[in-house]
Amino acid sequence: MVQIIQASKITIGYLIDKFDLQRVNDDKFFTEWLADLPELSELEKQTLDRIKSNFLHLIERQQMIESIVKMVVLSPLLELAGFYQPPFEIDGEKGVEIFVEDEDEVIKGDIDVLVLGNHLWIFVIESKRSSLSLDAGIPQALAYMLGNPNHEKPCFGFVTNGSHFVFLKLIKQDTPQYGRSDDFSIFNRGNDLYRVFSILKHLAALLQ
């Protein structure tokens, strides 16, 4: 009998055991969040300052549920980075099934936002309530990335709870390997959204 595993319940340890997933800590594996990041215009910086200000204003008055995180933070970032324009496509709440090889288990779940270019999965975005740690979303995002049908090109992930952000890169091939960026926080001095947006903008250019 096939056992259904909810993606929201899995851990990194599960992915290591079932898929032989390996983390790569070498910066040379995931250079896309480090090198050749674009300079931001004054208008872009002003928009990012506004996103930060909106979030900080709202979180003082309510616990931000996932839908609000998407509306206040995620959607403006994607729009500003150009992901709502050709050649990209957006798919939301996409159902995914990942079969565990040689075992009667299937991982099931829904991707919050999936960005596609030329009909390839290139960006899996998992958003969580502002009260949840990114640790709750990273295994889920990696599981979805493992379900990417394209084995030849890397898949990138972006996980946010509205206040914290991390980027992921996965290469499947024979043994799946992943790397992660530093964690960025909207609560840090200055505005970490500048760096987050620069990485998004850089990835958008690369993936075109």
Residue in 204, 197, 186 with CA at minimum distance from that of residue 53: 186
**Cα–Cα distance measured from residue 76 to residue 197, given in angstroms and rounded to the nearest whole number:** 10
E strand or H helix that includes residue 67? helix 66-69
**Cα–Cα distance measured from residue 40 to residue 43, given in angstroms and rounded to the nearest whole number:** 8
The pLDDT assigned to 132 comes to: 64
The pLDDT assigned to 34 comes to: 95
The pLDDT assigned to 49 comes to: 97
Name 155's Cβ contacts closer than 8 Å, sequence gap at least 6. Answer: 121, 122, 123, 124, 145, 148, 169, 170, 171, 172
Average pLDDT along the chain, 208 residues, taken 10 residues at a time: 74 91 95 95 97 89 75 90 89 68 68 70 66 77 84 86 90 91 92 96 87
The pLDDT assigned to 176 comes to: 94
The pLDDT assigned to 38 comes to: 95
pTM for the model stands at 0.88
User: Which CATH number is 21-94+110-207 given?
Assistant: 3.90.1570
Cα torsion angle, 18, 166, 131, 111, sign: negative
